[in-house]
């Protein structure tokens, strides 16, 4: 689908059918499937950085609405993740590592073909994070990552990515890089809650952990890693639990907006900054906002 249609389709479907619609929807999607409750346009022109674990604002979701996001792929478990999402007719957002996209372009194209939003997560996912690079080197890594995702997904890379979404590896942003991305029309995503799936745990333990966090918060942008086998194994049960507990999945797509945003409650503090400081030490505090994250 070309970019123009990608931008217009959610609005067209909302007006004509009073419901979201997607090209390539799973033919088996019935009323028991989780599905997508609504589509939220993300307007890159607003210069947003969203997700309460890093930023004092997030997507304005209703109670019991969730956005599913997956980092660090494409990787070995990614097809299992895509299979689970397709069975439940759910759309998610993937933040790809550029060198993984180069290695597994068929999976990038599958993500796009199945209606997911595909953003980027740097080219090299440096262990020391982009924050500890000099600004020019960090920008070059971001640009190379975007180009790698575009080339893998669409066969070429233009100036603007098809899906101008970015997540910092380890959430380790800097004010200069945030300004750079805002100027490029790219929205930055943190998360509202995560599954802590960088820790080794069983799929059952991961399911319990993420559901308990979700029940506490009631909604939010959830961070998983499609590079983790336990996450891929957990996902079918997680999606069923969403359904049985009355949660609805919201899909984010690039759009002209306006993007609905809500401010953090009074007394907000960053969760990720404390973790970055602990992980990277004093050097990390020269910037703003975790290792395999
Ligand atoms: Zn990551």
pLDDT score of 214 more than 80: yes
Task: Look up residue 44 and give its two tokens.
Answer: 């890159």
pLDDT value for 280: 83
The whole-number pLDDT of residue 283 equals: 54
Find the 199 Cα to ligand 1 centroid distance in Å.
Answer: 13
- DSSP SS3 for 217: helix
Measured distance CA(51)–CA(57) in Å, rounded = 6
pLDDT of residue 77: 98
In a domain, 12, yes or no: no
Q: What is the full DSSP assignment across 62-94?
A: PTTEEEEEEES-S-TTHHHHHHHHHHTT---EE
Q: How many Å lie between the centroid of ligand 1 and the Cα of residue 118? A: 14
CA distance 9 to 16: 10
The answer to whether position 293 is within a domain reads: no
Count of domains forming the chain: 1
What's the pLDDT tens digit per position in 14-52?
A: 443 333 444 344 556 888 999 999 999 999 999 999 999
- The pair of three-digit structure tokens given for residue 135, joined into one six-digit string: 């600004």
Distance 166 CA to ligand 1 centre (A): 11
Is residue 218 assigned to a domain? yes
Residue 161 Cα to ligand 1 midpoint, Å, equals 19
- The sign of the torsion formed by the CA atoms of 208, 213, 217, 221 equals negative
* 72 CA from centroid of ligand 1 (Å): 5
Between 247 and 1, residue with greater pLDDT: 247
Give residue 36's Cα distance to chain centre: 16
Q: Which pLDDT score, from 0 to 100, does residue 126 have? A: 94
Ligand 1 centre to CA of 291 (Å) is 8
Distance of CA 292 from the midpoint of ligand 1 (Å)? 6
The parent domain of residue 236 ranges over: 38-286
Instruction: Judge whether 2 lies within some domain.
Output: no
Residues 216, 226: Cα–Cα separation, whole Å: 24
Could you tell me the two tokens for 213?
Answer: 């966090």
pLDDT of 237 above 90: yes
Cβ atoms 272, 171 nearer than 8 A? yes
147: nearest Cα among 134, 165, 159, 133: 159
Contact 35, 243 (CB under 8 A): no
pLDDT of residue 28: 65
| Residue 222, pLDDT above cutoff 70 | yes
**Ligand 1 center to residue 231 CA distance, Å?**
14
Q: Give the pTM.
A: 0.88
- pLDDT for 51-100, tens place per residue? 999 999 999 999 999 999 999 999 999 999 999 999 999 999 999 999 99
Over pLDDT 90: what percentage of the chain?
82
The reported pLDDT for the residue numbered 279 is 83
What is the whole-number distance in angstroms between the Cα of residue 198 and the centre of ligand 1?
9
Distance of alpha carbon 5 from the chain centroid: 21
Report the percentage of the chain scoring pLDDT > 70. Answer: 86
What band does 116 get if pLDDT is binned at 50, 70 and 90?
A: very high
Residue that has been written with the tokens 């796009």 in this structure: 112
Whole-number Å distance between alpha carbons of 172 and 129: 6
What confidence score (pLDDT) does residue 273 get?
95
For residue 18, is it within any domain? no
Report H helices in the chain. 3-17, 78-87, 98-103, 105-113, 135-154, 175-183, 203-217, 229-244, 271-280
pLDDT in tens, 168-209: 999 999 999 999 999 999 999 999 999 999 999 999 999 999
Question: 217 CA distance to ligand 1 centroid (A)?
Answer: 23
Residues 56, 216: Cα–Cα separation, whole Å: 19
CATH number for the domain harbouring residue 73: 3.20.20.370
Q: What spacing in Å lies between the alpha carbon of 35 and ligand 1's midpoint?
A: 26
32 occurs within a structural domain: no
**Residue 59 and residue 221 in contact, taking contact as beta carbons nearer than 8 Å:** yes
Instruction: Please return the burial class of 287, using the count of CB atoms within 10 Å of its CB with bins 0-12, 13-18 and 19+.
Output: buried
Q: What's the 293 CA to ligand 1 centre distance in angstroms?
A: 4
The string of pLDDT tens digits covering residues 152-165 is 999 999 889 999 99
Q: Greater confidence, 135 or 5?
A: 135
Query: 114 in a domain, yes or no?
Result: yes
């Amino acid at each position: 689908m070309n970019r123009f249609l990608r931008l217009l389709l959610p609005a067209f479907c909302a007006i004509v059918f009073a419901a979201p619609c997607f090209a390539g929807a799973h033919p088996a999607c019935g009323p028991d499937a989780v599905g997508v409750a609504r589509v939220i346009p993300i307007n890159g022109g607003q210069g947003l950085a969203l997700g309460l674990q890093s930023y004092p604002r997030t997507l304005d979701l209703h109670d019991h609405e969730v956005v599913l996001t997956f980092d660090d792929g494409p990787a070995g478990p990614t097809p299992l993740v895509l299979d689970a999402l397709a069975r439940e007719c759910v759309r998610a957002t993937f933040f790809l590592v550029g060198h993984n996209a180069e290695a597994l372009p068929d999976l990038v194209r599958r993500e796009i073909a199945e209606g997911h939003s595909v953003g980027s997560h740097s080219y090299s996912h440096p262990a020391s994070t982009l924050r500890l690079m000099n600004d020019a080197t960090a920008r070059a890594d971001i640009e190379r990552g975007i180009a790698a995702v575009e080339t893998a997904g669409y066969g070429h890379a233009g100036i603007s990515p098809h899906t101008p979404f970015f997540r910092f590896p380890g959430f380790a942003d800097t004010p200069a890089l945030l300004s750079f991305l805002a100027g490029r029309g790219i929205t930055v995503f943190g998360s509202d809650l995560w599954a802590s799936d960088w820790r080794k745990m069983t799929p059952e333990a991961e399911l319990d952990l993420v559901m308990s966090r979700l029940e506490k918060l009631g909604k939010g942008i959830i961070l998983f890693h499609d590079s983790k086998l336990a996450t891929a194994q957990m996902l079918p049960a997680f999606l069923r639990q969403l359904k049985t507990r009355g949660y609805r999945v919201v899909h984010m797509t690039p759009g002209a907006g306006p993007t609905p945003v809500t401010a953090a409650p009074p007394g907000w503090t960053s969760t990720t900054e404390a973790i970055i400081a602990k992980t990277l030490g004093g050097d990390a505090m020269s910037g703003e906002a975790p290792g395999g994250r």
